[in-house]
């Protein structure tokens, strides 16, 4: 994938979701300025859908109004061939979903730190205001581990504002967007997203981060809504979790929206208080350095490979990351997306040989249809160092191509044109099978006799 006439150099694909793909890119500027960014592009089969274009534009607009360290920001919008590309902050790290696949469960203090960071970002979204200072009343609608990015700086950020929506302006039922495993039942049933439905999704994310297990599966869908039983306290699966934290998580997961926390701030405050009460005299939340150490330990080789791509000499629309048997990503010159593959060095030679064969066959057929030369005698001499033989023929008016059978591979070496028309040399591999006629059907048969010789005669000798 390449953005035409752009300051952004596409390096590799980072992730792909239901609506678009995010690429790692290099932003270039004057005086040698360059930095890594993330470029988001809608899937090609969705480019004709006006809804997708509106969602990309909405994400760019909301990000321009929302600046917070726990929210992935959109720094620029690029347009190429009528298509919008979102240029976003590149979070060097991994998603919470990727961390959970490799580390089960995540250390309690690290999980609590990540959850509090997500609370900060989600609350900033709920409190976002327009340029006039009016509250927008936004809801995220897709709070999930895939949309939580944890960086090597030890900070977790909330990503993907493409489906965020102003709940106060919905009125009627809207399309249900997001992942069913993290949806509140009332949102799935009515299509009306609220801050409370975001809090429920955040509760599911927290439950899974603390336990290292899945709370709900997508197969719980039913015709009338979501079929779910009461959630199990996290400490049942992870005994190290204090019961006070159980109460906070279960409150966020209440089936009745009225029984959940009134805001994300209330949820974060209750979680922090419960964690500190369970660990008096000790830090219940991991320091940033501890989060950094976890991300680096799990994804260090992959992140180093991505940084190495910036200095690669391969054309930038052909670079990608390939995971080897050890699970390490390394840069390689494999096409990405719509990248063009450079032709190999043999391609021009193959094309020239093919063209020469076509010309030779055409000339032979033309000569066979218009002329009938006299019988030809030739002498075959065996080469001393190979199994090949040399056949000497008098000069013919045009080049004749011999179709070789499976047992014989023939190659013709045509001598340069001279005034005296010297005999030409045909080099053919020796075989038990007889040498086929080099003359089309209308020409007389070729008489061949073999005579040993120490070396082939000079075809240009007088």
Neighbours of 29 (CB within 10 A): 9
Rounded distance between C-alpha atoms, residue 11 and residue 14, angstroms? 9
Rounded distance between C-alpha atoms, residue 434 and residue 407, angstroms? 10
Beta strand 447-450 with 74-80: parallel, antiparallel or unpaired?
A: unpaired
The CA distances from residue 132 to 135, 136, 161, 180, 329, in Å, are 9, 10, 21, 35, 46
Rounded distance between C-alpha atoms, residue 124 and residue 361, angstroms? 76
* DSSP 8-state secondary structure symbol assigned to residue 354: H
Neighbours of 373 (CB within 10 A): 13
Neighbours of 331 (CB within 10 A): 20
Select which of 142, 160, 246, 317 is catalytic: 142
Rounded distance between C-alpha atoms, residue 237 and residue 213, angstroms? 8
Tokens of 254: 């209440």
Rounded distance between C-alpha atoms, residue 366 and residue 108, angstroms? 85
**Active site (annotated) includes residue 142:** yes
Active-site amino acid positions? 142
């Amino acid at each position: 994938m390449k953005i035409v006439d752009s300051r952004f150099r596409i390096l590799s694909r980072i992730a792909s979701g239901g609506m678009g793909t995010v690429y790692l890119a290099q932003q270039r500027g004057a005086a040698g300025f360059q930095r890594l960014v993330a470029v988001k592009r809608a899937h090609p089969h969705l480019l004709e859908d006006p809804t997708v274009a509106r969602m990309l534009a909405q994400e760019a607009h909301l990000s321009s109004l929302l600046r917070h360290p726990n929210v992935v920001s959109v720094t620029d919008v690029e347009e190429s061939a009528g298509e919008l590309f979102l240029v976003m902050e590149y979070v060097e790290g991994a998603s919470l979903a990727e961390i959970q696949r490799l580390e089960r469960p995540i250390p309690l203090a690290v999980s609590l730190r990540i959850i509090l960071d997500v609370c900060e970002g989600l609350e900033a979204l709920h409190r976002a205001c327009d340029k006039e200072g009016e509250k927008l009343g936004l809801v995220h609608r897709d709070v999930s581990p895939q949309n939580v990015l944890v960086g090597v700086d030890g900070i977790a950020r909330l990503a993907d504002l493409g489906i965020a929506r102003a709940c106060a302006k919905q009125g009627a039922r809207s399309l249900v967007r997001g992942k069913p495993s993290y949806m509140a039942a009332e949102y799935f049933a009515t299509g009306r997203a609220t801050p409370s439905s975001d809090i429920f999704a955040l509760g599911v994310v927290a439950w899974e981060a603390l336990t290292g297990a899945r709370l709900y599966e997508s197969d719980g869908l039913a015709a009338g809504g979501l079929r779910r039983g009461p959630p199990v306290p996290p400490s049942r699966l992870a005994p190290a979790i204090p019961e006070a934290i159980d109460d906070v998580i279960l409150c966020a997961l209440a089936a009745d929206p009225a029984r959940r926390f009134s805001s994300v701030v209330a949820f974060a405050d209750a979680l922090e208080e419960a964690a500190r009460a369970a660990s008096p005299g000790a830090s219940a939340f991991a320091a940033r350095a501890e989060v950094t150490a976890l991300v680096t330990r799990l994804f260090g080789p992959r992140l180093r490979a991505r940084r190495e791509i910036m200095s690669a000499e391969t054309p930038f629309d052909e670079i990608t990351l390939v995971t080897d048997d050890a699970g390490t990503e390394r840069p390689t010159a494999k096409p990405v997306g719509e990248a063009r593959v450079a032709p190999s060095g043999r391609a021009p030679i193959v094309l020239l040989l093919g063209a020469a064969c076509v010309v030779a066959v055409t000339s032979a057929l033309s000569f066979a249809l218009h002329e009938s030369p006299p019988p030809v005698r030739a002498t075959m001499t065996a080469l001393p160092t190979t199994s090949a033989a040399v056949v000497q023929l008098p000069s013919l008016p045009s080049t004749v191509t011999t179709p070789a059978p499976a047992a014989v591979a023939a190659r013709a070496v045509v001598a340069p044109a001279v005034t005296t028309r010297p005999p030409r040399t045909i080099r053919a591999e020796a075989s038990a099978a007889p040498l086929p006629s080099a003359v089309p059907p209308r020409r007389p048969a070729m008489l061949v006799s073999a005579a040993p010789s120490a070396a082939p005669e000079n075809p240009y000798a007088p």
